[in-house]
C-alpha cells in the first residue's frame, strides 16, 4: 500500500473518492430526518431513498456513455461542480420537492464521479497493482462511514441543517478542484505483460463472463443492502438506542479498514476472483447472523461483516472485471460494475418492506443469505482472467452465447 500512496494520481483519486463517499455515508442516514422536517411520511421517505439510489445508478450508467462524447476531464469536473452547487442549494431548500431533486442531483454526480475514478485508476496502474489500487479506493467506504457519520451528526446537533449542508459543500469542493487541476486523464503506467495478451484475446469474446460477473455483484450487493437496512431495523425493534446503533456502525468501520488494506494487497498475488468470492461469503454471513442476533456484540459482528463485504465487493469487482475485459473496453464496461452495486440498493430496499410485512424478517434474511450463496457459486465457474479464458474457451462457444448488448466487451 505504501507504493500505492507514492503514486500521486492514486492519491488524488483517493481524495476525490473520499469527498463523494464522505457525503454518502454521512448524509444518507439523516435524509429521512431531514425529509420529515418538510412533512414527509414514512411511505414517501422510502420512495425518496429509492430515488437517490436510482439517481446514482443513472450516474454510473451514463458515465460510460457520456465519456464517448465528452473528455474525462470535462465530465469529471462537471460532476464535481454539479454536486457542490446542489449541496449549497440544499441549505436554502424550502419545499420537499426541492430536497428530493437536489439530493438526487448530488447522488447522480456521485455516481458519475465514482465510475470515472474506477476507470482512471486502471489508467494509472499496471495489472499487477490493480488489486491494491482498488483496495485503496474502497478504503474510502469505512473511513467515510466512521468520519462522515460522526461529523454530520455533530454539525446537525450544533447548528442545524443549513450550516451542515454548507460545510458538506465545502468538503465536496475538493473533488472538482482536484479534477480540474491535479488529476491526469492520460495513462501514466505502461500496460503490464498481461495486457497484450488481453488485447490479443479479443476473439475469446468475454461478454458472457462479464455479464455473469455483473449478475453476481447484483445478487451479493442486494444481500449487503438488506443487511445494512436490517441492522438498524432489528436493533430498533429490540429497543436498542440510537447511540448503540451508531456504535455498531462505527465498530464496523474500524474493523473494515485493516481488512480492506490487507485484501487489496493480497489479491494481486493470490487472485482477485478468490477474494471476490470471500466478499460474497462475508455478505452471506452478515444476514445469517442477523437472523438470530439479539446481543449487542452480535450486532457489532453484523455491522463488521456488512461493511467488510461491501468494501471487498467494491474493491474486487472492478479489479476482477479488468481481468475479464480488454483494455479498450474499460471506459464503457467498468461503470456497469458500480451500477450493479447501486441497483441492488433499489431492488433490496424496494422489496424488503413487502417481504417483511408478508413473510417476516427471518424469511427476508434467509432469502438474501441464499442469494449471496448463489452469487458465490456462480463466480467459482468464471475464468481467472481473459488470458486464461482465451486458452480454455473456444471462441465460437462464447461468441454464440454473447448477448448483443455486450458487443463492446
Most confident option among 147-161, 170-184, 244-258: 170-184
Which residue has better confidence, 121 or 2? Answer: 121
Backbone angles phi, psi at 256, to 5 degrees: -75, -25
Tell me what percent of the residues of the chain surpass a pLDDT of 70: 83
Which region holds residue 205: left if phi is over 0, alpha if psi is between -120 and 50, else beta? left
Confidence of residue 386 (pLDDT cuts 50, 70, 90): low
Q: How confident is the model at residue 43 (pLDDT cuts 50, 70, 90)?
A: low
CB 17 within 8 A of CB 315: no
Q: So what's the pLDDT on residue 409?
A: 39
pLDDT at 333: 75
pLDDT score for 331 = 67
| pLDDT of res. 193 | 42
C-alpha cell at 228: 445494512
CATH fourth-level superfamily of 1-192: MFS general substrate transporter like domains (1.20.1250.20)
- What number is the average pLDDT over the span 99-110? 96
Q: How far apart are CA 77 and CA 62, in angstroms?
A: 15
| Of residues 148 and 401, more confidently modeled | 148
Burial class (CB in 10 A: 0-12, 13-18, 19+), 43: exposed
Rounded CA separation 289/187 (Å): 44
C-alpha cell belonging to residue 115: 465510475
Model pLDDT for residues 127-160, shown as the tens digit of each residue: 767 777 887 887 887 788 778 777 887 788 788 8
Work out the average pLDDT over 293-311: 89
Which CATH code is given to the segment(s) 194-409?
1.20.1250.20
Q: 3-state SS string over 302-330?
A: HHHHHHHHHHHHHHHHHHHHHHHCCHHHH
Section 330-355 average pLDDT = 76
* pLDDT exceeds cutoff 90 at 103: yes
Nearest residue to 406 (alpha-carbon basis) of 216, 209, 218, 220: 209
Most confident of 2-16, 234-248, 295-309: 295-309
Query: Residue 198 pLDDT > 50, yes or no?
Result: no
Question: Is the pLDDT at 342 greater than 90, yes or no?
Answer: no
- Domain extents in the chain: 1-192, 194-409
CA 217 to chain centre: 10
Q: What is the pLDDT of residues 201-214, one digit of tens each?
A: 443 444 788 899 99
Query: Which residue would you say has higher pLDDT here, 211 or 352?
Result: 211
**Which of 43-47, 174-178, 229-233, 401-405 shows the highest mean pLDDT?**
174-178
Assess whether the region 1-192 and the region 194-409 belong to the same CATH fold.
yes
C-alpha cell at 168: 458538506
Between 226 and 109, the higher pLDDT residue: 109
CB-based burial label for 338 (10 Å; 0-12, 13-18, 19+): buried
Instruction: Give the CB-side neighbour count of residue 370, counting CA atoms within 13 A.
Output: 5
pLDDT, mean of residues 295-299: 90
Region of poorest pLDDT, from 43-52, 63-72, 103-112, 325-334: 325-334
Rounded to whole angstroms, the Cα distance separating 283 from 309 reads: 5
Closest CA to 340 of 224, 245, 166, 200: 224
- Give the 3-state DSSP-derived string for the chain, with helices as H, strands as E and coil as C: CHHHHHCHHHHHHHHHHHHHHHHHHHHHHHHHHHHHHCCCCHHHHHHHHHHHHHHHHHHHHHHHHHCCCCCHHHHHHHHHHHHHHHHHHHCCCCCHHHHHHHHHHHHHHHHHHHHHHHHHHHHCCCHHHHHHHHHHHHCHHHHHHHHHHHHHHHHHHHHCHHHHHHHHHHHHCHHHHHHHHCCCCCCCCCCCCHHHHHHHCHHHCCHHHHHHHHHHHHHHHHHHHHHHHHHHHHHHHCCCCHHHHHHHHHHHHHHHHHHHHHHHHHHHHHCHHHHHHHHHHHHHHHHHHHHHCCCHHHHHHHHHHHHHHHHHHHHHHHHHHHHHCCHHHHHHHHHHHHHHHHHHHHHHHHHHHHHHHHHCHHHHHHHHHHHHHHHHHHHHCCCCCHHHHHHHCCHHHHHHHCCHHHCCC
Position 8 confidence tier, pLDDT thresholds 50, 70, 90: confident
| Residue-averaged pLDDT of the chain | 80
More confident residue, 205 or 45: 45
Residue 167 pLDDT greater than 50, yes or no: yes
pLDDT-wise least confident of 124-128, 195-199, 319-323, 341-345: 195-199
Q: What is the pLDDT of residue 109?
A: 96
Question: Over 80: is that where the pLDDT of 387 sits?
Answer: no
Scanning the structure block, which residue is given the C-alpha cell 472485471?
321
Higher pLDDT, 354 or 218: 218
Question: Does the pTM exceed 0.85?
Answer: no
Kindly tell me if the per-residue pLDDT of 353 is higher than 70.
no
Does pLDDT of 251 surpass 50?
yes
pLDDT, residue 32, reads 76
Residue 239 grid cell:
429497543
As a whole number, mean pLDDT of residues 327-355 equals: 76
Amino acid at each position: 500500500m505504501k507504493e500505492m500512496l507514492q503514486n500521486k494520481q492514486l492519491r488524488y483519486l483517493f481524495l476525490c473518492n473520499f469527498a463523494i463517499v464522505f457525503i454518502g455515508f454521512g448524509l444518507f442516514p439523516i435524509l429521512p430526518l431531514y425529509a420529515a422536517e418538510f412533512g414527509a411520511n414514512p411511505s414517501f421517505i422510502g420512495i425518496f431513498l429509492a430515488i437517490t439510489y436510482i439517481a446514482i445508478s443513472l450516474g454510473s450508467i451514463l458515465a460510460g456513455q457520456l465519456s464517448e462524447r465528452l473528455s474525462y476531464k470535462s465530465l469529471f469536473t462537471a460532476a464535481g461542480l454539479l454536486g457542490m452547487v446542489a449541496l449549497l442549494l440544499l441549505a436554502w431548500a424550502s419545499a420537499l420537492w426541492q430536497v428530493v431533486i437536489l439530493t438526487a442531483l448530488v447522488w447522480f454526480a456521485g455516481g458519475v464521479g465514482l465510475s470515472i475514478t474506477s476507470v482512471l485508476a486502471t489508467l494509472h496502474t499496471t495489472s499487477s497493482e490493480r488489486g491494491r489500487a482498488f483496495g485503496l479506493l474502497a478504503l474510502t467506504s469505512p473511513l467515510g462511514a466512521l468520519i462522515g457519520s460522526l461529523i454530520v451528526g455533530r454539525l446537525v446537533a450544533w447548528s442545524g441543517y443549513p450550516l451542515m449542508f454548507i460545510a458538506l459543500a465545502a468538503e465536496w469542493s475538493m473533488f472538482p478542484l482536484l479534477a480540474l487541476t491535479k488529476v491526469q486523464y492520460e495513462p501514466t503506467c505502461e500496460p503490464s505483460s498481461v495486457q497484450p495478451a488481453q488485447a490479443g484475446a479479443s476473439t475469446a469474446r468475454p461478454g458472457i463472463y462479464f455479464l455473469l460477473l455483473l449478475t453476481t455483484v447484483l445478487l451479493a450487493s442486494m444481500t449487503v443492502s438488506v443487511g445494512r437496512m436490517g441492522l438498524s431495523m432489528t436493533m430498533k425493534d429490540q429497543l436498542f438506542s440510537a447511540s448503540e446503533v451508531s456504535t455498531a456502525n462505527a465498530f464496523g468501520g474500524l474493523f473494515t479498514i485493516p481488512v480492506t488494506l490487507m485484501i487489496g494487497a493480497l489479491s494481486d498475488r493470490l487472485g482477485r476472483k478468490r477474494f471476490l468470492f470471500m466478499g460474497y461469503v462475508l455478505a452471506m454471513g452478515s444476514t445469517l447472523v442477523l437472523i438470530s442476533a439479539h446481543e449487542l456484540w452480535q450486532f457489532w459482528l453484523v455491522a463488521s461483516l456488512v461493511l467488510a463485504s461491501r468494501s471487498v465487493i467494491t474493491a474486487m469487482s472492478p479489479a476482477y472485471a479488468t481481468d475479464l475485459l480488454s483494455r479498450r473496453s474499460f471506459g464503457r464496461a467498468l461503470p456497469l460494475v458500480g451500477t450493479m452495486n447501486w441497483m441492488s440498493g433499489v431492488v433490496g430496499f424496494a422489496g424488503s418492506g413487502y417481504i417483511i410485512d408478508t413473510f417476516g424478517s427471518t424469511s427476508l434474511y434467509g432469502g438474501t443469505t441464499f442469494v449471496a450463496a448463489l452469487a458465490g457459486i456462480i463466480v467459482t465457474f468464471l475464468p481467472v482472467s481473459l488470458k486464461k479464458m482465451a486458452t480454455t474457451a473456444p471462441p465460437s462457444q462464447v461468441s454464440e452465447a454473447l448477448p448483443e448488448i455486450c458487443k463492446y466487451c
